[in-house]
Amino acid sequence: MTPSAADVARTEPLAAFLARTRARVDEALERYLPRPPACPPLMSEAMRYSVFAGGKRFRPILTLAAADAVARGADAAALPAACAIELIHTYSLIHDDLPAMDNDTLRRGRPTLHVVYGDGIAILAGDGLQAEAFALLAREPDDAALAGRRLRVLQLVAEAAGSIGMVGGQAIDLQAAGQAPGNRVELDAGGLRGMHARKTGALIRASAMSGAVMAGAGEDAVRAADRYAADLGLAFQIVDDILDVEGEAGQLGKTAGKDAAAAKPTYPALFGLDRSRTLAAECIARAHAALEEARLADGWLGAIADWILHRKS
């Protein structure tokens, strides 16, 4: 039996845990994705191009760490949910990169999917990945005793991905960027927070909750995982905004960041860099407190929170 995440937490550095877990997620994704001849070869290629593009696997790592925090060694039951959420995240990046949305041509140093395969196939690859995510959740783990947990996770993930969650947040983002019908929508601090709560927060919360649910968590632990992840997700976004300003200024020394160039509302723009750093640190402090209260502080979740706060990329 391989050691659970919590068993090795005191001796294994976070970086080793992250690398090991990424490899485990990649191996599972490889197994779960459909192949030719059932899947047309072009679709298979296009989906794999984006799924194996060197992502951090932040969401599936969160799912597995939450499962392990609830019940050591229980994370195997959460592996399909972890991978399904990563498929949804990947599809959202493909669609967000399209010319009709953010019009990004590079991601992690590689051309985006639509640049290589065209907009039509990129739209379809995204659509296909979303469907695969739900097919995977419906199929695995193939254990009737877990049917109730699987249905709950299906609902959590579908609602987080949908128009009351991620997709709704992206629509608000388009309105704030003046790319939707009607007047450009100006976001104040509350509006910005609400947009991020939907666009990235909802799926991050579903990631942690899904892990907890699959590990058999009680309602208190599920709620604690939710509160932890809500603050983690907000910190993640604030740090993203900070890195966009600092990275550009520090590395390029001349042009403003991408967000500023796109006139996107950001935390540094609304609050300044110092106050933004304080806000992110306060989120992470609350995330730790949620873990302590629910006795979930023993595994990797706390170290992941600190990683998010201090990451440089």
- Summarize as ranges the residues that interact with a copy of itself (CB under 8 A): 34, 38-40, 42-44, 47, 91-92, 95, 98, 100-101, 116-121, 123-128, 130-132, 134-135, 137-139, 144, 147-148, 150-152, 154-155, 158-159, 161-165, 167-168, 170-172, 174-175, 179-182, 198
- Please say which residue, 2 or 163, places its beta carbon nearer to a copy of itself: 163
Instruction: Mention every residue, 6+ apart, whose C-beta is less than 8 A from residue 251.
Output: none
Least separation in angstroms between residue 262's CB and a copy of itself is 14
Task: Measure the CA–CA gap between 60 and 200, rounded to whole angstroms.
Answer: 14
- Please say which residue, 226 or 282, places its beta carbon nearer to a copy of itself: 226
Least separation in angstroms between residue 80's CB and a copy of itself is 12
Task: Measure the CA–CA gap between 239 and 311, rounded to whole angstroms.
Answer: 8
- Please say which residue, 92 or 266, places its beta carbon nearer to a copy of itself: 92
- Please say which residue, 35 or 311, places its beta carbon nearer to a copy of itself: 35
Least separation in angstroms between residue 95's CB and a copy of itself is 6
Q: In 3D, which of 187, 57, 47 has the Cα closest to residue 117? A: 47
Q: What are phi and psi of 108, to 5 degrees?
A: 50, 40
Alpha-helical runs (H) found in 56-164: 58-70, 79-96, 113-139, 147-161
Least separation in angstroms between residue 102's CB and a copy of itself is 9
Under 8 Å between Cβ of 195 and 169: yes
| Run of H or E residues at 279 | helix 273-293
- Please say which residue, 40 or 54, places its beta carbon nearer to a copy of itself: 40
